[in-house]
Structure 1
């Protein structure tokens, strides 16, 4: 056999080996979503304008200026009056929360969503191989994940993970963890539970930067069922395409822009600083630099590179706002974390999205508030309720959270989605690409300095 033949056989062997390794790696990274469930509170848990005013007036630490600031923040928050509050706050016990209060709040959210998930999918708790539960601000012993295992009497060989301190983007981190575990856990089922405890962390002081969390954060959460079992592929609604995580916590301003702390009077709360917007932009930019080349077509990437190069030659540097890429060449839907009106609008502008694209996030914030790590799934539920999600579409989830970090993922939609969900009884009140009424503006925007004093005394 001559040298050419040997070389050809060697090359062919290398190609076969490479393709086999690629196929095996691809198979090991399979991650399908079977279903998801979002929490929906009872009507008596709704924080309407009247109850919000009562809660605010109970805070005797507020002076006239703080009271006015809080009302203005509520008016401009983008929050509606059907969001859900924790029981101890609604009952006037926000200054003295108890451990049973926190556990009761978690039980209601976690078990209602997992009960519904098991019922709708037909999966038994005993079939779960991996459990990942994330709650940032509450870490009792035994862990909340252990509480789930005890409630459902799950198997003793289950792989259990209880995550804390990861903020609003913990749900995507949990999905990334599951995908990595799937590489060594074949034909498995994973349950991801994402929520946050509001009751024990209601801020009762007068620091303006810490009062913001009371205006935005609300009770909520989600449970998601994932699998890498090819036998369940036909039942899946979405397939995970890629996950990218970026962390800018080495920057002191970014690290401290969203942080749990005590104020000067000893009141515990969550501080949100003015640097939050810059930190979010920095983390999101670093994330998209890695993620977008994986999901956008080569034609769009080449167009962007050429245009950017020409701009540098003619103007010395790239100009204009936004990232310059047309995301809609490879993505059809955008789940932006409903953390606040400024975050949603800022992300939409930088990504070149229009009102239709950010409508689901804007309305999820209005209807359910900022539900921390569970927020993305309310946005997804809105899209499904509006019958936007069709087989073959690609969906980008954009999450940002304390650290500061941006954790994003892309899903391939495997079937048309139109199941009933938490939006079923309210979706008709949210018309396409239209601004919904602001009840706080209607009821509080008329307040001026003179009337404010009398309202505060009353």
Structure 2
């Protein structure tokens, strides 16, 4: 990822085809470093049993991966695009409910690189609510490649109702049905897409089912 001119001499940001693989390596390094610091005591016990079964008993098990929803209350994931979020969701094994803040940031503000995590933070404070003692996990990736994460613990209940970036929501929580595309099932729901399809002429019931599936 770098800044350079193209074949016509126009300057722009170049993204190599290996950017996804490199970003994955960075995120893996970040998660390896932070995971032992946020796991619960119960998860330490599970990890110990897992290591015993895998390395001592020789059972063919994959590396231990904790359930992050047991040690983190809110997730702010780099919203670099729909595919990026889906990939990170799968890699971290997170439920759709944990991804709403990031998808909300993507819907309202688009791909603003790692700063999407701060928009997601604002949404979480303004619409989800952060209670005293809860943990908020923030994961971002940038050029280099570089990756980083913050784990915040709330020292008090947070009232983010006046957050300027989300004032237009008036504290309303988004659901998956409010998103242009589904999280669990990639169904396009954007009103503009529906409008374009309406002007495209009549379509059969079979065509409609195909559109919903894709």
Q: TM-score, normalised by structure 2?
A: 0.76
Deviations along 1:38-89, one digit per CA (max 9) or x if unpaired, are xxxxxxxxxxxxxxxxxxxxxxxxxxxxxxxxxxxxxxxxxxxxxxxxxxxx
Alpha-carbon distance in 1 for matches of 2:52, 2:19: 31
Match of 1:442 among 186, 194, 204: 194
Deviation at 1:279, TM superposition (A): 1.4
Greater CA deviation, 304-313 or 324-333? 304-313
Higher RCO (C-alpha under 8 Å, 6+ residues apart):
1
Alpha-carbon distance in 2 for matches of 1:378, 1:423: 9
**Which residue does 1:196 correspond to in 2?**
none
**Which residue does 2:8 correspond to in 1?**
265
RMSD: 2.5
Runs (5+) with no aligned partner, structure 1? 1-257, 449-458
Q: Note if 1:299 corresponds to 2:51.
A: no
Deviation at 1:348, TM superposition (A): 1.3
Q: Note if 1:280 corresponds to 2:23.
A: yes
Q: Note if 1:357 corresponds to 2:98.
A: yes
CA 1:440–1:406: 2 relative to 1, 3 Å? farther
CA 1:439–1:270: 2 relative to 1, 3 Å? farther
Alpha-carbon distance in 1 for matches of 2:125, 2:5: 40
Deviation at 1:324, TM superposition (A): 1.9
CA 1:324–1:444: 2 relative to 1, 3 Å? farther
CA 1:433–1:418: 2 relative to 1, 3 Å? farther
Alpha-carbon distance in 2 for matches of 1:386, 1:304: 35
CA 1:295–1:392: 2 relative to 1, 3 Å? same
**Which residue does 1:410 correspond to in 2?**
151
Deviation at 1:432, TM superposition (A): 2.7
Kindly report which structure 2 residues correspond to 1:76-155, keeping only aligned pairs within 5 A, or say none.
Answer: none
Alpha-carbon distance in 1 for matches of 2:125, 2:109: 16
Deviation at 1:445, TM superposition (A): 6.5
Kindly report which structure 2 residues correspond to 1:225-236, keeping only aligned pairs within 5 A, or say none.
Answer: none
Alpha-carbon distance in 2 for matches of 1:424, 1:366: 15
Alpha-carbon distance in 2 for matches of 1:374, 1:445: 34
8 Å Cα contact 1:363/1:430 also seen in 2: no
Deviation at 1:447, TM superposition (A): 9.5
CA 1:414–1:401: 2 relative to 1, 3 Å? same
Alpha-carbon distance in 2 for matches of 1:265, 1:389: 50
Deviation at 1:308, TM superposition (A): 4.8
Deviation at 1:372, TM superposition (A): 2.9
Match of 1:314 among 41, 59, 67: 59
8 Å Cα contact 2:39/2:66 also seen in 1: no
Match of 2:117 among 376, 384, 390: 376
Alpha-carbon distance in 2 for matches of 1:446, 1:264: 40
8 Å Cα contact 2:72/2:137 also seen in 1: yes
**Which residue does 2:81 correspond to in 1?**
340
The total of aligned residue pairs comes to: 187
Greater CA deviation, 303-312 or 386-395? 303-312
